Structure 1
Amino acid sequence: MNKQLSWAIIITAAGWLLSSCKDDKASQPATPPPVPVNVYTVIKGKAAYYDQYPATVTPLNQVELRPQVNGYLTGIFFKDGSRIKKGQKLYTIDQQQYVANYQQAQANLQVQETNLTKAQKDADRYHELEKHDAIARQQVDYADAALEAAKKQVAAAQANVTSVQTGLRYTTIYAPFDGTIGISLAKLGTAVSAGQTLLNTISSDDPMAVDLSIDQKDLYRFEQLQRKNGGTKDSTFKLILPGQETYPHPGQIYLIDRAVDPQTGTIIARLVFPNKQSDLKAGMTANVQILNNANTEKVLIPQKAVVEQMGEYFVYTTDGKAAHQKKVSLGARIGDLVVVNNGVEAGEQVITDGLQKLKEGAPVQVGQPNASAPSAAK
């Protein structure tokens, strides 16, 4: 009886131990299978690429046309939006009042000149009589004073004529320089006020300026480009139009502003582009591409190997067994490649596929490595 009980206890204990082992194995997490990935061997190469800056097209010279006299608009002598030449007549303002004022000023001048002639003759005659003691000295003094007064009146009349003549001249408005004129904002018969009414705007159109804001850390580079070959036009500066077309003519640096904006740390650089066909219009927004042909070699990786997280950029490298996340600082994009300023080194292998399944330390199964990129990228 005791033997049977002993064997029952032994069998029960063995069953319990076997069951416990099975439960422990079931509770242990299964090892995840390795993630199949492709890798790219990081290389260094000389990279010729373009830095891109947002820019605004602006005329080198622009002026608003406002009348300098009051009156009614009596003539418009151009076609809206046309090209004009310096000195071309553009507008006329009613001249009747100004012509009448000019004629009146001329008549007043003639009267004063006549008075001057009379005063001169009187003074000459009195001085002749004085030589023979035939007239009182007081009379001679009066004659001299009248002569001086007559001279002052003539001078005042001449100044009035000049003033009125200027007003008459301002009734005709001429183009101050060659350029393109806009749509007239005033029509025939419109009452205009001196210095107030905006008639039109004229802007020069060949060449056209393109303004862009550059970071102060790029200032030295731009100054070097400005000195390069005396500013000769070449492929260094390209203009990308709003429709993403490349403007067919290269530009050059025209000037760099005098000071850096302390609030933004930027400074204005102005380029100029030829505009024979008037393709560039004032106020257009565009992008300027500036060739960055550095002699130093850059680290290049495929752009698809980069993962963005919260505004920061990462890549996954591998030693052939596991994935390791690394933070990187990126430079310019060149086609399917991107320049890495720091974070990875030449010779490392970065993962290019299967990134969505990866995390730090995840096992990987490396496929066929990608072919190396050329030594120079454009």
Structure 2
Amino acid sequence: MKNKYTYCIAAITLLLWTACKSKSDQQNAAPPPTPVNVAEVKNADALYYDRYQGQVVSLNSVELRSQVAGFITGIFFKEGSVVAKGAPLYEIDRRKYVAAYEQARANLSSANANLIKAQKDVDRYNMLLKNDAVARQTVDQATAAYETSKGQVAVSQAALASAATDLSYATIKAPFTGRIGISQVKLGAQVSPGTTLLNTISTGNPIGVDVVINEQDIDRFYKLQKSSTDTTFRLQLSDGSSYQKTGKVFAIDRGVSNQTGTIKVRIQFSNEKDELKDGMSCVLQVLNDNSGNRVQIPYKAITEQMGEFFVFVSKDTIAEQRKVTLGPRIQSNVVITSGLKAGEKIVTDGFQRLRDGGKITLGPPPSAAGAAGGKDNKSTAPAK
């Protein structure tokens, strides 16, 4: 009886040991390779741009103000239209200025007549003086009167010029060819010299775009001012559309702001169709100096850890995790500035469960395979 009991205990112990060993072997067994998709690292043309917030500005814009006082008696343009240089725009009541001009012209005529008389007196007295027929004092007085008359003529000429200028200011003309805005005054309105804003006129073709850059970029834009191509500058409008004309550096401001460390740059664009309006917001895109033939990979292959970026490189059946430095994104791809070489293969799908040095096999990732299997099971299940 005792022997049977001993045999039973030994048998149970053997069974338990076998079961534990089998479970331990299963736990210590290496995990199966992870199915992944891979892609080859390639060099491709990469044109990418730095973005600057900009504002459209007219290259020439002037506020129209009157230089003489009076009431508006004429408006000779259509608001919002293009006016030619020298075209009359506003007229201020001219009657007072016409009268002042006529008076100045009459004064000049009178002064000229007095000058002629004084000249004749000087000539006559000088002739008499040669014959001792007149005192020397009389000749000197006639000469002084002649010089006074000459001064009066000069004063009258200046007064006439001033009156003519005031009369010309009564008609306000376009200083250059440009588009005029909505009038700020109406017929009959009283204007004061230098203070009342009548309107604003500005040029529209070509037109400028102002951007603010850091002082570190000054040399870059000075180089672009000397040499640029049709692809150097691109303009994106506020609605997201791209402006099709090319630009060039028009001017770089004289100095850097000591408060912000920035400087203003103005880029010129042609604007024949008047698509760009003064004051519009836009984004100026400037071709990056690093554009060219660069290493590119699908962006979906990138993983981020603590602000650093990694990819899994396929080494036959092993996945090696490697740190990379990213450049700009180009559609679904991203430029790699360091960490990869053309011809290497990277894991694009299925890397979520991978670790550095993990085994891989080519095939659909687990998530994709599971989804496919789920669909097959659903389609083959018998109907209830």
Q: Do both proteins adopt the same fold according to a TM-score greater than 0.5, normalized to the shorter chain?
A: yes
Contact 1:33 1:363 in 2 (8 A): no
CA-to-aligned-CA distance 1:314-369 (integer Å, 9 cap, x gap)? 233356656746352423x22211112234444555454467x5697595756549
**Judging changes above 3 Å, is the alpha-carbon distance between structure 1 residues 211 and 360 closer, same or farther for their aligned structure 2 residues?**
farther
Matched, 1:336 2:332: yes
Give, in angstroms, the shift of residue 63 of structure 1: 1.2
**Judging changes above 3 Å, is the alpha-carbon distance between structure 1 residues 295 and 105 closer, same or farther for their aligned structure 2 residues?**
closer
Contact 1:39 1:368 in 2 (8 A): no
What pairs with 1:301-320 in structure 2 (closer than 5 Å)? 301-307=297-303, 312-318=307-313
The letter of the residue matching 1:174 is K
**Judging changes above 3 Å, is the alpha-carbon distance between structure 1 residues 369 and 42 closer, same or farther for their aligned structure 2 residues?**
farther
Matched, 1:286 2:282: yes
**Judging changes above 3 Å, is the alpha-carbon distance between structure 1 residues 147 and 360 closer, same or farther for their aligned structure 2 residues?**
farther
Secondary structure class of the residue paired with 1:196: coil
Matched, 1:245 2:244: no
Contact 2:89 2:173 in 1 (8 A): yes
Q: Give the corresponding residue for 2:158.
A: 159
Q: Give the corresponding residue for 1:117.
A: 116
**Judging changes above 3 Å, is the alpha-carbon distance between structure 1 residues 369 and 61 closer, same or farther for their aligned structure 2 residues?**
farther
CA-to-aligned-CA distance 1:20-49 (integer Å, 9 cap, x gap)? x99xx9xx9xx999876544443333x241
CA-to-aligned-CA distance 1:204-249 (integer Å, 9 cap, x gap)? 1122223334556666665555555xx6x7455433222222223x
Give, in angstroms, the shift of residue 168 of structure 1: 0.9
Give, in angstroms, the shift of residue 151 of structure 1: 0.7
Number of paired residues?
Answer: 348
Contact 2:177 2:203 in 1 (8 A): yes
Matched, 1:143 2:142: yes
Structure 1, unmatched stretches of 5+, are: 1-6, 371-378
Residues 112-121 or 285-294, more deviating: 285-294
Secondary structure class of the residue paired with 2:274: coil
Aligned pair partner of 1:51 in 41, 49, 52: 49
Whole-angstrom distance in 2 between the partners of 1:38 and 1:93 = 81
Q: Give the corresponding residue for 1:128.
A: 127
Secondary structure class of the residue paired with 2:106: helix
CA RMSD of aligned residues (A): 4.0
Contact 1:52 1:287 in 2 (8 A): no
Whole-angstrom distance in 1 between the partners of 2:233 and 2:341 = 31
Q: Give the corresponding residue for 1:206.
A: 205
What TM-score does the superposition give when structure 2 sets the normalisation length? 0.74
Whole-angstrom distance in 2 between the partners of 1:256 and 1:317 = 48
CA-to-aligned-CA distance 1:95-145 (integer Å, 9 cap, x gap)? 122122212222222222222222222222222221221221111111111
Contact 2:42 2:296 in 1 (8 A): yes
Secondary structure class of the residue paired with 1:64: strand
Contact 2:215 2:256 in 1 (8 A): no
Give, in angstroms, the shift of residue 195 of structure 1: 1.4
Give, in angstroms, the shift of residue 180 of structure 1: 0.7
Q: Give the corresponding residue for 2:186.
A: 187
Q: Give the corresponding residue for 1:69.
A: 68
What TM-score does the superposition give when structure 1 sets the normalisation length? 0.76
Give, in angstroms, the shift of residue 81 of structure 1: 0.5
Q: Give the corresponding residue for 1:97.
A: 96
Give, in angstroms, the shift of residue 182 of structure 1: 0.8
Whole-angstrom distance in 2 between the partners of 1:259 and 1:39 = 54
Secondary structure class of the residue paired with 1:199: strand
Whole-angstrom distance in 1 between the partners of 2:31 and 2:278 = 62
The letter of the residue matching 1:121 is K
The letter of the residue matching 1:96 is R
Contact 1:216 1:260 in 2 (8 A): no
